Structure 1
Amino acid sequence: MPGRPDFFILGAPKCGTTALSEYLRDHPQVFVSRPKEPHYFCDDFDYYYAPGQRTEEHYLRLFDAAGPQHLAVGEASVWYLYSATAARNIMAFDPRARVIVMVRNPVELVPSLHSQLRYMLDEDEPDPEAAWRLQAARARGERLPSTVRVPAFLQYGAAAALGAQLRRVYEAVPREQVKVIVFDDLRRDAGAVYRETLAFLGVPDDGRDEFPRVNENKVHGNAALARLTQRPPGPLVAVARGVKRVAGVQRLGVLDRVRRRNRLVTRREEISPAFAQELREHFRQDVAELGELIGRDLSAWTA
Protein backbone atom coordinates (compact mmCIF):
# COMPACT_ATOMS: atom_id res chain seq x y z
CA MET A 1 0.00 0.00 0.00
CA PRO A 2 1.26 3.55 -0.66
CA GLY A 3 3.24 5.07 2.18
CA ARG A 4 4.25 1.69 3.58
CA PRO A 5 7.19 -0.40 2.28
CA ASP A 6 6.36 -3.72 0.65
CA PHE A 7 9.78 -4.73 -0.71
CA PHE A 8 13.21 -4.85 0.90
CA ILE A 9 16.71 -5.28 -0.51
CA LEU A 10 18.55 -7.09 2.28
CA GLY A 11 22.15 -6.76 1.11
CA ALA A 12 24.81 -8.07 1.27
CA PRO A 13 27.15 -5.06 1.31
CA LYS A 14 29.25 -4.46 -1.83
CA CYS A 15 27.00 -6.73 -3.89
CA GLY A 16 25.31 -4.08 -6.04
CA THR A 17 22.54 -3.03 -3.65
CA THR A 18 23.20 0.67 -4.17
CA ALA A 19 23.21 0.32 -7.95
CA LEU A 20 19.97 -1.67 -8.05
CA SER A 21 18.19 0.63 -5.60
CA GLU A 22 19.20 3.68 -7.63
CA TYR A 23 17.99 2.10 -10.88
CA LEU A 24 14.67 1.28 -9.20
CA ARG A 25 14.41 4.77 -7.69
CA ASP A 26 14.43 6.28 -11.18
CA HIS A 27 11.40 4.21 -12.23
CA PRO A 28 8.27 6.42 -12.04
CA GLN A 29 6.23 3.63 -10.42
CA VAL A 30 8.77 2.62 -7.77
CA PHE A 31 9.48 4.49 -4.54
CA VAL A 32 12.75 3.93 -2.65
CA SER A 33 13.32 5.66 0.68
CA ARG A 34 15.91 8.35 1.35
CA PRO A 35 18.11 7.44 3.03
CA LYS A 36 18.02 4.09 1.24
CA GLU A 37 19.48 2.28 4.26
CA PRO A 38 17.31 2.94 7.33
CA HIS A 39 18.27 -0.41 8.92
CA TYR A 40 15.11 -0.30 11.00
CA PHE A 41 14.56 -4.05 11.17
CA CYS A 42 18.05 -5.16 12.27
CA ASP A 43 17.63 -4.41 15.95
CA ASP A 44 20.77 -6.42 16.71
CA PHE A 45 22.83 -3.73 14.89
CA ASP A 46 21.45 -0.69 16.68
CA TYR A 47 23.60 2.12 15.31
CA TYR A 48 21.42 4.10 12.90
CA TYR A 49 18.84 5.46 15.34
CA ALA A 50 19.32 7.90 18.20
CA PRO A 51 17.87 6.79 21.56
CA GLY A 52 14.08 6.73 21.37
CA GLN A 53 13.99 7.11 17.57
CA ARG A 54 13.60 3.46 16.62
CA THR A 55 9.83 3.59 16.30
CA GLU A 56 7.56 2.48 13.50
CA GLU A 57 6.15 6.00 13.25
CA HIS A 58 9.63 7.47 12.70
CA TYR A 59 10.47 4.76 10.18
CA LEU A 60 7.29 5.13 8.15
CA ARG A 61 7.88 8.86 7.74
CA LEU A 62 10.60 7.88 5.26
CA PHE A 63 7.80 6.76 2.94
CA ASP A 64 5.46 9.75 3.31
CA ALA A 65 6.14 10.86 -0.27
CA ALA A 66 5.05 7.53 -1.75
CA GLY A 67 1.78 7.82 -3.63
CA PRO A 68 -0.80 5.69 -5.42
CA GLN A 69 1.28 5.85 -8.60
CA HIS A 70 3.97 3.77 -6.90
CA LEU A 71 3.32 0.08 -7.48
CA ALA A 72 6.29 -0.89 -5.31
CA VAL A 73 7.57 0.91 -2.21
CA GLY A 74 10.79 -0.18 -0.58
CA GLU A 75 14.20 0.32 0.92
CA ALA A 76 17.65 -1.24 0.75
CA SER A 77 19.59 -1.85 3.98
CA VAL A 78 22.75 -3.84 3.33
CA TRP A 79 23.17 -5.24 6.85
CA TYR A 80 19.72 -6.86 6.92
CA LEU A 81 21.14 -10.06 5.43
CA TYR A 82 23.90 -10.35 8.05
CA SER A 83 21.47 -9.51 10.85
CA ALA A 84 20.07 -12.44 12.82
CA THR A 85 16.74 -10.65 13.33
CA ALA A 86 15.95 -8.51 10.25
CA ALA A 87 14.25 -11.08 8.00
CA ARG A 88 12.05 -12.30 10.84
CA ASN A 89 11.18 -8.71 11.82
CA ILE A 90 10.29 -7.83 8.23
CA MET A 91 7.90 -10.76 8.05
CA ALA A 92 6.26 -9.67 11.32
CA PHE A 93 5.86 -6.19 9.79
CA ASP A 94 4.43 -7.52 6.50
CA PRO A 95 4.05 -11.28 5.90
CA ARG A 96 3.57 -10.62 2.16
CA ALA A 97 6.71 -8.49 1.76
CA ARG A 98 8.95 -9.23 -1.21
CA VAL A 99 12.62 -9.64 -0.42
CA ILE A 100 15.63 -9.20 -2.70
CA VAL A 101 18.98 -10.70 -1.69
CA MET A 102 22.19 -9.81 -3.55
CA VAL A 103 25.22 -12.09 -3.25
CA ARG A 104 28.81 -12.04 -4.48
CA ASN A 105 31.91 -14.19 -4.58
CA PRO A 106 33.28 -13.87 -0.99
CA VAL A 107 36.87 -13.75 -2.28
CA GLU A 108 35.89 -10.44 -3.93
CA LEU A 109 33.51 -9.40 -1.17
CA VAL A 110 35.98 -9.47 1.73
CA PRO A 111 38.50 -6.93 0.34
CA SER A 112 35.69 -4.80 -1.09
CA LEU A 113 33.90 -4.73 2.26
CA HIS A 114 37.17 -3.93 4.01
CA SER A 115 37.67 -0.95 1.70
CA GLN A 116 34.12 0.28 2.31
CA LEU A 117 34.51 -0.02 6.09
CA ARG A 118 37.76 1.92 5.83
CA TYR A 119 35.89 4.64 3.96
CA MET A 120 33.12 4.67 6.58
CA LEU A 121 35.76 4.86 9.38
CA ASP A 122 34.63 1.57 10.91
CA GLU A 123 37.98 0.00 10.03
CA ASP A 124 41.41 1.43 10.88
CA GLU A 125 43.64 -1.37 9.56
CA PRO A 126 44.69 -0.40 6.01
CA ASP A 127 45.61 -3.91 4.86
CA PRO A 128 42.70 -6.33 4.25
CA GLU A 129 44.76 -9.42 5.05
CA ALA A 130 45.93 -7.93 8.35
CA ALA A 131 42.32 -6.98 9.15
CA TRP A 132 41.27 -10.56 8.40
CA ARG A 133 43.79 -11.84 10.94
CA LEU A 134 42.49 -9.46 13.60
CA GLN A 135 39.07 -11.10 13.70
CA ALA A 136 39.71 -13.33 16.71
CA ALA A 137 41.14 -10.48 18.77
CA ARG A 138 38.29 -8.19 17.81
CA ALA A 139 35.74 -10.84 18.74
CA ARG A 140 37.26 -10.63 22.23
CA GLY A 141 36.82 -6.85 22.20
CA GLU A 142 40.49 -6.14 21.50
CA ARG A 143 42.02 -3.94 18.80
CA LEU A 144 38.70 -2.35 17.90
CA PRO A 145 38.75 1.03 16.14
CA SER A 146 37.36 3.79 18.35
CA THR A 147 34.97 4.79 15.54
CA VAL A 148 33.53 1.37 14.71
CA ARG A 149 29.73 1.46 14.87
CA VAL A 150 29.16 -2.29 15.26
CA PRO A 151 32.15 -4.54 16.07
CA ALA A 152 30.44 -7.44 14.27
CA PHE A 153 30.97 -5.56 10.99
CA LEU A 154 34.68 -6.37 11.33
CA GLN A 155 34.06 -10.13 11.44
CA TYR A 156 34.68 -10.53 7.72
CA GLY A 157 34.33 -14.30 7.73
CA ALA A 158 30.82 -14.11 9.16
CA ALA A 159 29.82 -11.04 7.14
CA ALA A 160 30.72 -12.78 3.86
CA ALA A 161 29.18 -16.17 4.76
CA LEU A 162 26.25 -15.59 2.42
CA GLY A 163 25.13 -19.20 2.24
CA ALA A 164 24.43 -19.30 5.98
CA GLN A 165 22.75 -15.91 5.80
CA LEU A 166 20.48 -16.89 2.90
CA ARG A 167 19.50 -20.08 4.74
CA ARG A 168 18.36 -17.90 7.64
CA VAL A 169 16.29 -15.76 5.24
CA TYR A 170 14.59 -18.88 3.84
CA GLU A 171 13.76 -19.97 7.38
CA ALA A 172 11.78 -16.75 7.84
CA VAL A 173 10.50 -15.83 4.35
CA PRO A 174 8.55 -18.02 1.88
CA ARG A 175 10.81 -18.78 -1.08
CA GLU A 176 8.34 -17.43 -3.61
CA GLN A 177 8.74 -14.02 -1.93
CA VAL A 178 12.54 -14.05 -2.29
CA LYS A 179 14.59 -13.09 -5.35
CA VAL A 180 18.34 -13.78 -5.23
CA ILE A 181 20.61 -11.77 -7.53
CA VAL A 182 24.20 -12.81 -8.15
CA PHE A 183 26.50 -9.80 -8.53
CA ASP A 184 28.22 -11.44 -11.52
CA ASP A 185 24.91 -11.24 -13.41
CA LEU A 186 24.38 -7.59 -12.52
CA ARG A 187 27.90 -6.80 -13.69
CA ARG A 188 27.45 -8.74 -16.93
CA ASP A 189 23.93 -7.59 -17.90
CA ALA A 190 22.42 -5.00 -15.57
CA GLY A 191 19.48 -4.48 -17.92
CA ALA A 192 18.37 -8.10 -17.72
CA VAL A 193 18.65 -8.13 -13.91
CA TYR A 194 16.71 -4.86 -13.73
CA ARG A 195 13.86 -6.17 -15.87
CA GLU A 196 13.72 -9.43 -13.90
CA THR A 197 13.52 -7.40 -10.69
CA LEU A 198 10.69 -5.25 -12.03
CA ALA A 199 8.79 -8.41 -12.95
CA PHE A 200 9.36 -9.79 -9.44
CA LEU A 201 7.99 -6.56 -7.97
CA GLY A 202 5.00 -6.51 -10.33
CA VAL A 203 6.09 -3.28 -12.02
CA PRO A 204 6.03 -2.75 -15.82
CA ASP A 205 9.28 -2.19 -17.70
CA ASP A 206 9.97 1.50 -18.28
CA GLY A 207 12.31 0.81 -21.19
CA ARG A 208 15.44 1.92 -19.37
CA ASP A 209 18.57 0.96 -21.31
CA GLU A 210 21.39 2.81 -19.52
CA PHE A 211 22.85 1.43 -16.31
CA PRO A 212 25.89 3.41 -15.12
CA ARG A 213 28.18 2.00 -12.48
CA VAL A 214 27.26 3.09 -8.97
CA ASN A 215 29.12 3.06 -5.63
CA GLU A 216 32.57 2.32 -7.04
CA ASN A 217 35.55 1.90 -4.71
CA LYS A 218 36.35 5.21 -3.03
CA VAL A 219 38.66 6.92 -0.55
CA HIS A 220 38.66 10.25 1.25
CA GLY A 221 40.56 13.21 -0.15
CA ASN A 222 41.03 14.75 3.30
CA ALA A 223 41.14 12.55 6.42
CA ALA A 224 40.25 15.33 8.90
CA LEU A 225 37.23 16.34 6.84
CA ALA A 226 36.23 12.69 6.61
CA ARG A 227 36.22 12.37 10.41
CA LEU A 228 34.03 15.46 10.69
CA THR A 229 31.47 14.32 8.11
CA GLN A 230 31.41 10.58 8.80
CA ARG A 231 31.41 10.92 12.58
CA PRO A 232 30.14 14.46 13.31
CA PRO A 233 30.60 15.63 16.92
CA GLY A 234 27.66 15.42 19.30
CA PRO A 235 26.94 19.18 19.53
CA LEU A 236 26.79 19.45 15.72
CA VAL A 237 24.41 16.48 15.54
CA ALA A 238 22.17 18.06 18.21
CA VAL A 239 22.01 21.35 16.30
CA ALA A 240 21.20 19.54 13.05
CA ARG A 241 18.39 17.60 14.74
CA GLY A 242 16.93 20.84 16.05
CA VAL A 243 17.04 22.48 12.63
CA LYS A 244 15.40 19.44 11.00
CA ARG A 245 12.68 19.41 13.64
CA VAL A 246 11.91 23.10 13.13
CA ALA A 247 12.06 22.80 9.35
CA GLY A 248 9.98 19.62 9.37
CA VAL A 249 12.42 17.68 7.17
CA GLN A 250 14.17 14.32 7.51
CA ARG A 251 17.54 15.40 6.08
CA LEU A 252 19.39 18.67 5.55
CA GLY A 253 21.86 17.30 3.02
CA VAL A 254 24.78 19.55 4.03
CA LEU A 255 27.06 16.75 5.19
CA ASP A 256 26.13 14.69 2.13
CA ARG A 257 27.35 17.48 -0.14
CA VAL A 258 30.62 17.83 1.77
CA ARG A 259 31.14 14.05 1.69
CA ARG A 260 30.68 14.00 -2.07
CA ARG A 261 33.28 16.73 -2.55
CA ASN A 262 35.74 14.82 -0.35
CA ARG A 263 35.19 11.54 -2.20
CA LEU A 264 37.75 10.13 -4.64
CA VAL A 265 36.99 7.09 -6.80
CA THR A 266 40.04 4.84 -7.04
CA ARG A 267 40.93 1.31 -8.02
CA ARG A 268 41.31 -1.03 -5.05
CA GLU A 269 44.62 -2.87 -4.75
CA GLU A 270 44.48 -6.61 -5.45
CA ILE A 271 44.99 -9.01 -2.56
CA SER A 272 47.88 -11.46 -2.76
CA PRO A 273 47.33 -14.82 -4.53
CA ALA A 274 48.11 -16.63 -1.27
CA PHE A 275 45.47 -14.69 0.66
CA ALA A 276 42.94 -15.19 -2.15
CA GLN A 277 43.55 -18.94 -1.94
CA GLU A 278 43.11 -18.82 1.83
CA LEU A 279 39.74 -17.13 1.35
CA ARG A 280 38.68 -19.69 -1.24
CA GLU A 281 39.42 -22.49 1.21
CA HIS A 282 37.70 -20.69 4.07
CA PHE A 283 34.48 -20.10 2.15
CA ARG A 284 34.37 -23.33 0.14
CA GLN A 285 31.65 -24.99 2.20
CA ASP A 286 29.54 -21.85 2.53
CA VAL A 287 29.72 -21.19 -1.23
CA ALA A 288 28.61 -24.77 -1.85
CA GLU A 289 25.63 -24.20 0.45
CA LEU A 290 24.78 -20.94 -1.31
CA GLY A 291 24.89 -22.66 -4.69
CA GLU A 292 22.63 -25.45 -3.44
CA LEU A 293 20.13 -22.94 -2.04
CA ILE A 294 19.82 -21.01 -5.31
CA GLY A 295 20.22 -24.00 -7.62
CA ARG A 296 23.37 -22.75 -9.28
CA ASP A 297 26.90 -24.05 -9.63
CA LEU A 298 29.18 -21.52 -7.91
CA SER A 299 32.20 -23.81 -7.67
CA ALA A 300 34.26 -21.48 -9.88
CA TRP A 301 34.33 -19.03 -6.95
CA THR A 302 36.42 -21.42 -4.86
CA ALA A 303 38.27 -23.31 -7.60
Structure 2
Amino acid sequence: MVSSRGHLLTEQNNPNSLNLDQLSSLEIVELFNREDANTLQAINNAREQIAAAIDLTSVALKQGGRLFYVGAGTSGRLGVLDAAECPPTFCTPPSLVQGIIAGGERALVESSEGLEDRREDGARAIAERGVNHKDVVCGITAGGTTPYVHGALEAAQNQAAKTIFLACVSEKEVSVNVDVEIRLLVGAEVLAGSTRLKAGTATKMALNILSTGVMVKLGKVYGNRMIDVAVTNQKLRDRALRILQDLTPLSREEASILLEKSGNRVKVALLMQWKGLSATEAEAVINDQSE
Protein backbone atom coordinates (compact mmCIF):
# COMPACT_ATOMS: atom_id res chain seq x y z
CA MET A 1 0.00 0.00 0.00
CA VAL A 2 1.05 3.62 -0.51
CA SER A 3 0.40 6.73 1.54
CA SER A 4 0.30 9.18 -1.37
CA ARG A 5 -1.22 8.52 -4.78
CA GLY A 6 0.20 11.48 -6.68
CA HIS A 7 3.14 9.48 -8.03
CA LEU A 8 1.00 6.63 -9.39
CA LEU A 9 1.07 6.10 -13.13
CA THR A 10 -2.71 6.48 -13.28
CA GLU A 11 -2.50 9.95 -11.69
CA GLN A 12 0.29 11.43 -13.78
CA ASN A 13 -0.04 14.10 -16.46
CA ASN A 14 0.17 12.90 -20.03
CA PRO A 15 2.63 15.04 -22.03
CA ASN A 16 0.77 14.22 -25.23
CA SER A 17 -2.44 15.90 -24.06
CA LEU A 18 -1.23 19.03 -22.28
CA ASN A 19 -3.15 21.17 -24.80
CA LEU A 20 -6.30 19.03 -24.67
CA ASP A 21 -8.52 22.06 -24.03
CA GLN A 22 -7.27 23.74 -27.21
CA LEU A 23 -7.80 20.88 -29.66
CA SER A 24 -10.49 20.66 -32.31
CA SER A 25 -13.01 17.84 -32.10
CA LEU A 26 -11.17 15.87 -34.78
CA GLU A 27 -7.84 16.39 -33.03
CA ILE A 28 -9.37 15.10 -29.78
CA VAL A 29 -10.57 11.95 -31.54
CA GLU A 30 -7.18 11.43 -33.18
CA LEU A 31 -5.38 11.91 -29.85
CA PHE A 32 -7.60 9.35 -28.14
CA ASN A 33 -7.08 6.92 -30.99
CA ARG A 34 -3.30 7.17 -30.68
CA GLU A 35 -3.38 6.79 -26.91
CA ASP A 36 -5.83 3.87 -26.95
CA ALA A 37 -3.29 1.85 -28.91
CA ASN A 38 -1.48 1.50 -25.58
CA THR A 39 -4.30 -0.69 -24.27
CA LEU A 40 -3.50 -3.43 -26.79
CA GLN A 41 0.16 -3.37 -25.82
CA ALA A 42 -0.74 -3.51 -22.14
CA ILE A 43 -2.84 -6.63 -22.71
CA ASN A 44 -0.03 -8.20 -24.71
CA ASN A 45 2.51 -7.47 -21.98
CA ALA A 46 0.22 -9.10 -19.39
CA ARG A 47 -0.74 -12.10 -21.53
CA GLU A 48 1.04 -14.69 -19.37
CA GLN A 49 -0.57 -13.37 -16.20
CA ILE A 50 -4.03 -13.32 -17.79
CA ALA A 51 -3.48 -16.90 -18.95
CA ALA A 52 -2.47 -17.87 -15.41
CA ALA A 53 -5.69 -16.28 -14.11
CA ILE A 54 -7.72 -18.29 -16.63
CA ASP A 55 -6.09 -21.54 -15.52
CA LEU A 56 -6.43 -20.79 -11.81
CA THR A 57 -10.08 -19.79 -12.14
CA SER A 58 -11.16 -22.63 -14.42
CA VAL A 59 -9.67 -25.22 -12.07
CA ALA A 60 -11.49 -23.64 -9.13
CA LEU A 61 -14.83 -23.50 -10.94
CA LYS A 62 -14.50 -27.11 -12.07
CA GLN A 63 -14.17 -28.03 -8.41
CA GLY A 64 -17.34 -26.23 -7.40
CA GLY A 65 -15.94 -22.78 -6.77
CA ARG A 66 -17.17 -19.34 -7.83
CA LEU A 67 -15.53 -16.26 -9.32
CA PHE A 68 -16.05 -12.90 -7.64
CA TYR A 69 -15.03 -9.56 -9.14
CA VAL A 70 -14.56 -6.81 -6.54
CA GLY A 71 -14.11 -3.12 -7.27
CA ALA A 72 -15.27 0.44 -6.72
CA GLY A 73 -16.37 3.08 -9.21
CA THR A 74 -15.50 2.27 -12.82
CA SER A 75 -13.55 -0.85 -11.85
CA GLY A 76 -16.52 -2.19 -9.88
CA ARG A 77 -18.95 -1.45 -12.70
CA LEU A 78 -16.78 -3.28 -15.20
CA GLY A 79 -16.66 -6.32 -12.94
CA VAL A 80 -20.43 -6.31 -12.49
CA LEU A 81 -20.89 -5.95 -16.25
CA ASP A 82 -18.66 -8.91 -17.07
CA ALA A 83 -20.36 -11.06 -14.44
CA ALA A 84 -23.82 -10.10 -15.71
CA GLU A 85 -22.95 -11.14 -19.26
CA CYS A 86 -21.93 -14.70 -18.34
CA PRO A 87 -25.44 -16.18 -17.81
CA PRO A 88 -26.89 -15.14 -21.20
CA THR A 89 -23.68 -15.95 -23.10
CA PHE A 90 -22.75 -19.22 -21.42
CA CYS A 91 -25.96 -20.28 -19.64
CA THR A 92 -24.23 -20.20 -16.27
CA PRO A 93 -26.14 -19.70 -13.02
CA PRO A 94 -25.90 -16.10 -11.74
CA SER A 95 -24.07 -17.40 -8.68
CA LEU A 96 -21.10 -18.75 -10.67
CA VAL A 97 -19.59 -15.37 -11.60
CA GLN A 98 -20.56 -12.45 -9.36
CA GLY A 99 -19.70 -8.79 -9.37
CA ILE A 100 -19.28 -6.92 -6.08
CA ILE A 101 -19.16 -3.12 -6.17
CA ALA A 102 -18.65 -0.70 -3.30
CA GLY A 103 -22.04 0.81 -2.58
CA GLY A 104 -24.04 -2.04 -4.07
CA GLU A 105 -26.44 -1.81 -7.01
CA ARG A 106 -27.05 1.89 -6.47
CA ALA A 107 -23.39 2.56 -7.25
CA LEU A 108 -23.93 1.27 -10.78
CA VAL A 109 -25.77 4.45 -11.74
CA GLU A 110 -24.70 6.94 -9.07
CA SER A 111 -21.30 8.16 -7.95
CA SER A 112 -20.15 6.29 -4.86
CA GLU A 113 -16.42 6.96 -4.90
CA GLY A 114 -16.41 7.85 -1.20
CA LEU A 115 -17.29 4.28 -0.32
CA GLU A 116 -14.10 2.90 -1.82
CA ASP A 117 -12.12 4.06 1.22
CA ARG A 118 -13.94 1.68 3.56
CA ARG A 119 -11.74 -1.38 3.81
CA GLU A 120 -14.10 -3.04 6.27
CA ASP A 121 -16.94 -2.90 3.73
CA GLY A 122 -14.89 -4.97 1.29
CA ALA A 123 -14.26 -7.57 3.97
CA ARG A 124 -17.95 -7.57 4.91
CA ALA A 125 -18.99 -8.16 1.29
CA ILE A 126 -16.79 -11.25 1.16
CA ALA A 127 -18.28 -12.57 4.39
CA GLU A 128 -21.85 -11.93 3.23
CA ARG A 129 -21.32 -14.07 0.15
CA GLY A 130 -19.80 -16.93 2.08
CA VAL A 131 -16.55 -16.95 0.13
CA ASN A 132 -14.58 -20.10 0.90
CA HIS A 133 -11.50 -22.07 -0.11
CA LYS A 134 -13.07 -23.20 -3.38
CA ASP A 135 -13.63 -19.66 -4.67
CA VAL A 136 -11.60 -17.08 -6.60
CA VAL A 137 -11.73 -13.37 -5.80
CA CYS A 138 -10.45 -10.92 -8.41
CA GLY A 139 -9.78 -7.45 -7.02
CA ILE A 140 -9.98 -4.71 -9.65
CA THR A 141 -8.47 -1.30 -8.94
CA ALA A 142 -6.94 0.89 -11.65
CA GLY A 143 -4.71 2.81 -9.26
CA GLY A 144 -4.05 -0.25 -7.13
CA THR A 145 -4.74 1.37 -3.77
CA THR A 146 -8.51 1.11 -3.25
CA PRO A 147 -9.02 0.09 0.41
CA TYR A 148 -12.37 -1.60 -0.36
CA VAL A 149 -10.63 -3.97 -2.76
CA HIS A 150 -7.70 -4.68 -0.46
CA GLY A 151 -10.09 -5.38 2.41
CA ALA A 152 -11.96 -7.87 0.23
CA LEU A 153 -8.77 -9.60 -0.92
CA GLU A 154 -7.47 -9.95 2.62
CA ALA A 155 -10.79 -11.37 3.81
CA ALA A 156 -10.81 -13.81 0.89
CA GLN A 157 -7.29 -14.98 1.72
CA ASN A 158 -8.34 -15.52 5.32
CA GLN A 159 -10.87 -18.01 3.96
CA ALA A 160 -8.17 -19.69 1.83
CA ALA A 161 -9.77 -18.47 -1.43
CA LYS A 162 -7.56 -17.93 -4.47
CA THR A 163 -6.92 -14.26 -5.28
CA ILE A 164 -6.23 -12.22 -8.41
CA PHE A 165 -5.18 -8.57 -8.45
CA LEU A 166 -5.86 -6.48 -11.57
CA ALA A 167 -4.41 -2.96 -11.62
CA CYS A 168 -2.95 -0.40 -14.00
CA VAL A 169 0.12 0.42 -11.92
CA SER A 170 3.40 -1.42 -11.53
CA GLU A 171 4.45 -3.70 -8.69
CA LYS A 172 6.98 -1.07 -7.62
CA GLU A 173 4.19 1.46 -7.12
CA VAL A 174 1.77 -0.87 -5.31
CA SER A 175 2.82 -4.29 -4.04
CA VAL A 176 0.40 -7.06 -3.10
CA ASN A 177 0.56 -10.70 -2.06
CA VAL A 178 -1.90 -12.65 -4.22
CA ASP A 179 -1.92 -15.76 -6.39
CA VAL A 180 -1.94 -13.92 -9.71
CA GLU A 181 -1.16 -10.28 -10.51
CA ILE A 182 -2.33 -8.68 -13.75
CA ARG A 183 -0.68 -5.32 -14.39
CA LEU A 184 -2.11 -3.34 -17.30
CA LEU A 185 0.34 -0.48 -17.79
CA VAL A 186 -1.48 1.79 -20.23
CA GLY A 187 0.32 4.97 -19.21
CA ALA A 188 -1.06 8.33 -18.08
CA GLU A 189 -4.60 9.17 -19.16
CA VAL A 190 -5.49 11.77 -21.81
CA LEU A 191 -7.51 13.45 -19.07
CA ALA A 192 -5.19 13.23 -16.09
CA GLY A 193 -6.44 10.76 -13.49
CA SER A 194 -9.57 9.72 -15.40
CA THR A 195 -9.12 5.97 -15.24
CA ARG A 196 -12.44 5.29 -16.95
CA LEU A 197 -10.45 5.93 -20.15
CA LYS A 198 -7.43 3.78 -21.09
CA ALA A 199 -7.35 1.98 -17.77
CA GLY A 200 -11.05 1.20 -18.03
CA THR A 201 -10.71 0.03 -21.63
CA ALA A 202 -7.79 -2.28 -20.83
CA THR A 203 -9.61 -3.62 -17.78
CA LYS A 204 -12.69 -4.42 -19.87
CA MET A 205 -10.51 -6.20 -22.41
CA ALA A 206 -8.76 -8.25 -19.74
CA LEU A 207 -12.05 -9.28 -18.12
CA ASN A 208 -13.47 -10.24 -21.54
CA ILE A 209 -10.51 -12.54 -22.09
CA LEU A 210 -10.53 -13.92 -18.55
CA SER A 211 -14.20 -14.87 -18.39
CA THR A 212 -14.34 -16.17 -21.97
CA GLY A 213 -11.16 -18.18 -21.49
CA VAL A 214 -12.57 -19.72 -18.32
CA MET A 215 -15.80 -20.66 -20.09
CA VAL A 216 -13.84 -22.25 -22.92
CA LYS A 217 -12.01 -24.38 -20.32
CA LEU A 218 -15.37 -25.31 -18.76
CA GLY A 219 -16.64 -26.72 -22.08
CA LYS A 220 -19.06 -23.91 -22.84
CA VAL A 221 -17.64 -23.47 -26.34
CA TYR A 222 -17.34 -25.77 -29.37
CA GLY A 223 -14.92 -24.41 -31.95
CA ASN A 224 -15.78 -20.75 -31.64
CA ARG A 225 -19.52 -21.30 -31.10
CA MET A 226 -21.25 -20.45 -27.83
CA ILE A 227 -23.02 -23.80 -27.57
CA ASP A 228 -24.35 -23.03 -24.09
CA VAL A 229 -26.05 -19.81 -25.16
CA ALA A 230 -29.25 -19.10 -23.22
CA VAL A 231 -32.14 -18.98 -25.71
CA THR A 232 -34.09 -16.17 -24.06
CA ASN A 233 -35.16 -13.99 -27.00
CA GLN A 234 -35.62 -14.10 -30.76
CA LYS A 235 -32.06 -12.96 -31.51
CA LEU A 236 -30.57 -15.70 -29.37
CA ARG A 237 -32.98 -18.28 -30.78
CA ASP A 238 -31.84 -17.34 -34.26
CA ARG A 239 -28.22 -17.68 -33.16
CA ALA A 240 -28.93 -21.10 -31.66
CA LEU A 241 -30.55 -22.28 -34.89
CA ARG A 242 -27.61 -21.05 -36.95
CA ILE A 243 -25.20 -22.90 -34.67
CA LEU A 244 -27.19 -26.12 -35.11
CA GLN A 245 -27.31 -25.66 -38.87
CA ASP A 246 -23.56 -24.96 -39.02
CA LEU A 247 -22.63 -28.03 -36.97
CA THR A 248 -25.19 -30.51 -38.34
CA PRO A 249 -26.76 -31.27 -41.76
CA LEU A 250 -30.18 -30.15 -40.47
CA SER A 251 -32.39 -27.63 -42.23
CA ARG A 252 -33.61 -24.61 -40.28
CA GLU A 253 -37.00 -26.25 -39.74
CA GLU A 254 -35.39 -29.48 -38.54
CA ALA A 255 -33.03 -27.54 -36.29
CA SER A 256 -35.99 -25.70 -34.79
CA ILE A 257 -37.76 -28.98 -33.98
CA LEU A 258 -34.58 -30.38 -32.42
CA LEU A 259 -34.05 -27.24 -30.36
CA GLU A 260 -37.57 -27.53 -28.96
CA LYS A 261 -37.04 -31.18 -28.06
CA SER A 262 -33.79 -30.29 -26.29
CA GLY A 263 -35.48 -27.75 -24.06
CA ASN A 264 -33.83 -24.90 -25.96
CA ARG A 265 -30.34 -26.09 -25.01
CA VAL A 266 -27.95 -26.10 -27.93
CA LYS A 267 -25.38 -28.42 -26.32
CA VAL A 268 -28.10 -30.96 -25.54
CA ALA A 269 -29.47 -30.66 -29.08
CA LEU A 270 -26.05 -31.29 -30.58
CA LEU A 271 -25.52 -34.45 -28.52
CA MET A 272 -28.98 -35.65 -29.46
CA GLN A 273 -28.17 -35.23 -33.13
CA TRP A 274 -24.58 -36.51 -33.06
CA LYS A 275 -25.07 -39.47 -30.72
CA GLY A 276 -28.70 -40.37 -31.33
CA LEU A 277 -29.61 -39.69 -27.71
CA SER A 278 -32.79 -38.53 -26.08
CA ALA A 279 -32.81 -35.16 -24.33
CA THR A 280 -32.63 -36.90 -20.95
CA GLU A 281 -29.71 -39.08 -22.03
CA ALA A 282 -27.82 -36.11 -23.50
CA GLU A 283 -28.39 -34.15 -20.32
CA ALA A 284 -26.99 -37.02 -18.28
CA VAL A 285 -23.84 -37.16 -20.41
CA ILE A 286 -23.28 -33.43 -19.95
CA ASN A 287 -23.79 -33.66 -16.21
CA ASP A 288 -21.35 -36.58 -15.95
CA GLN A 289 -18.68 -34.62 -17.84
CA SER A 290 -19.09 -31.56 -15.64
CA GLU A 291 -18.63 -33.47 -12.38
Bigger radius of gyration: 2
TM over 0.5: no
- What is the TM-score with the length of structure 1 in the denominator? 0.28
- What is the TM-score with the length of structure 2 in the denominator? 0.29
Q: Answer 1 or 2: which has greater helix percent.
A: 2
